[in-house]
Amino acid sequence: MDSANTRGGAPPVPVSITLTVNGREHRLDIDTRASLLDVLRERLGLTGAKKGCDHGQCGACTVLLDGRRANSCLALAVANDGAEVTTVEGLAEAAGAAGEGGLSPIQEAFVERDALQCGYCTPGQLCSATGMLAEAAEGWPSFVTEDLAAEPPALDDAEIRERMSGNLCRCGAYVNIVAAVREVGA
């Protein structure tokens, strides 16, 4: 007997939503309690975004949601009906490199700079870096931006570290991650 029936309530009724994920439209019937991360991983088979802490603290689940960085473990899928989602699997295509079998510029820089170790956080780091570089290009300041009038702000190491601070790496590959982001942001 499921727990909803033991309390006298009816089981949840699935809701239909549409998500455009990595350029492909998906119509899904989901539980209203399902996180975007769970829908991506369990319903669409896109396992790049990782379930790390499941509390929005580690960044392993970072995706681009309508072009902005988002912790997919905290985003309810039903609240994002109609959204455009880019996961690590779609970064190359979003950058126009997928047709050539290539990688996005940030993916190439991560490989060249050896900006990963175990790789668990890498998909979230890549999506976050992609979103962060777009934010900086649009002139968004961060907490450590010294010249608020500069557009775009200079991406020095302190600026990159601050902007990427929502993504943790237990292996400590930060030096190479910062170098890779600096290379692409230059």
Closest CA to 47 of 80, 18, 72, 17: 72
Core vs surface per residue 79-113: b (16+ CB within 10 A) or e: ebeebbbbbbbbbbbbbebbeeeebbbbbbbbeeb
> Cα–Cα distance between 72 and 61 in angstroms, integer?
6
Whether 185 has a pLDDT exceeding 50, the answer reads yes
pLDDT of residue 13: 83
Its domain, for residue 68, covers 3-91
More confidently predicted of 69 and 143: 69
The DSSP 8-state label assigned to residue 173 in this structure reads -
> Cα–Cα distance between 122 and 127 in angstroms, integer?
9
Total domain count, the chain = 2
pLDDT of residue 91: 92
pTM for this entry = 0.88
Q: Looking at residues 159-174, what average pLDDT do you find?
A: 93
Question: CATH number, domain at 176?
Answer: 1.10.150.120
Instruction: Clarify whether residues 112 and 150 are in a common domain.
Output: yes
What digits encode the pLDDT tens for the residues 33-81?
Answer: 999 999 999 999 999 999 999 999 999 999 999 999 999 999 999 999 9
Instruction: Clarify whether residues 43 and 96 are in a common domain.
Output: no
Whether 11 has a pLDDT exceeding 90, the answer reads no
Instruction: Clarify whether residues 73 and 57 are in a common domain.
Output: yes
Instruction: Clarify whether residues 97 and 179 are in a common domain.
Output: yes
Instruction: Clarify whether residues 135 and 63 are in a common domain.
Output: no
Is residue 124 within 8 Å of residue 60, measured between CB atoms? yes
Instruction: Clarify whether residues 33 and 82 are in a common domain.
Output: yes
Residue 1 pLDDT grade (very low, low, confident, very high; cuts 50, 70, 90): very low
Closest CA to 115 of 141, 92, 105: 105
